[in-house]
Structure 1
Amino acid sequence: MSVRTRTYRWEEPGFPADLTGLEIMRGLLAGTIPPPPMVQTLGLDLIEVEPGRVVFGVKPAEYMYNGSGIVHGGFIASMMDTATGSALHTKLDVGIGYTSLDLSVKFLSAISERTDAIRCTGTLTHHGRRIALAEARITDGSDRLLATATSSLMILS
């Protein structure tokens, strides 16, 4: 067996305190705000941002594999949790945060290095005063649905 190495860097976590969630997400997209360490760890690229909707992309790679030689379900769940939370983040005012309450994931197809680059679209479906709901969909380059998730999120003021 050969040994592989993966190296990545991140900056100190934290967002500017004087920006709305949409401004932060647009800053992440433009590269003027550094991504959170977990986004760096996962290797995700933010590729679209609009109010209530975000898209992350990544090319499946060996470092994401579980013991069966496919992308680990925890990686997929983390990507979907990131997308659902980020979709909510685009609608939050200055100084307002959030946390996930739950995440329900349905895995529809195995993902591996042979899979095209995947896209995870997070969409806000309900934005209440304290609770929000969002969904995520992972698709491949042919727009084939690979996984779905729903999430409940608590808004922290």
Structure 2
Amino acid sequence: MTSESPNALYFASLRRLFERTPALSFVKQTLEELAPGQARLALEPDDRYNNGAGCIHGGIIATVLDGVGWFACATRSEGYWLVTAEFKVNFLEVASHERVIATGELLKKGSELFHARMDARTEGGRHVASALATYTLLPRKFRP
């Protein structure tokens, strides 16, 4: 019999899911924190993420924001898959050659829709982007 709480076991399964995500081979992120309704990811600097002006491409930042929002919601999805239904991002500053920390927070959990707010900041504290997303709950569970 295990001494871990069901919540700890579930969060461990979310971490395994994160580590097995194929997109991470293209956009390397680190899952730094999971808590009920919250998540934090870090994007390490990599010149391959830059646009022509030498800053991290907005699409890379958006990918990290979508991911952190998904994981914040997944902490409360009871193992059911979520898919992004709507996503809006506002880019506020540029980031280049420094870590970007993205945080996600579940705003509202409905019976089929989850709403989240996400922010991305450089490690130095500059606010890079803010986003809002809606995720739809699917009728199937992921495998731990």
Q: TM-score scaled by structure 2? A: 0.83
Residue 41 of structure 1 deviates from its aligned partner by 2.1
Conserved 8 A contact 1:26-1:49: no
* 1:81 partnered with 2:66: yes
Conserved 8 A contact 1:130-1:154: yes
Q: Structure 1 residues 79 and 33 mapped into 2: Cα distance closer, same or farther (>3 Å)?
A: closer
Task: Name the residue aligned to 2:131.
Answer: 149
Instruction: Give a deviation string over 1:44-91, Cα, whole Å, max 9, x none.
Output: 000011011010012222010122221111101110000111111111
Find the aligned partners of 1:24 and 1:76 in 2 and give their Cα distance: 27
Percent identity of equivalent pairs:
23
Task: Name the residue aligned to 1:125.
Answer: 107
Residue 120 of structure 1 deviates from its aligned partner by 0.3
**Runs of 5+ unmatched residues, structure 2:** 1-5, 140-144
Instruction: Give a deviation string over 1:103-146, Cα, whole Å, max 9, x none.
Output: 10011111111xx3111001100000011100111112233311
For 2:19, what is the secondary structure of its paired residue?
coil
Residue 28 of structure 1 deviates from its aligned partner by 5.1
Runs of 4+ in 1 over 6 A off after TM superposition: none
Find the aligned partners of 1:140 and 1:92 in 2 and give their Cα distance: 29
Q: TM-score scaled by structure 1? A: 0.76
For 1:42, what is the secondary structure of its paired residue?
coil
Conserved 8 A contact 1:49-1:55: yes
Find the aligned partners of 1:91 and 1:103 in 2 and give their Cα distance: 19
Match of 1:61 among 41, 46, 52: 46
Match of 1:109 among 78, 93, 105: 93
Q: Structure 1 residues 101 and 24 mapped into 2: Cα distance closer, same or farther (>3 Å)?
A: same
Find the aligned partners of 2:82 and 2:55 in 1 and give their Cα distance: 31
Conserved 8 A contact 1:87-1:134: yes
Count of residues in correspondence between the two structures: 134
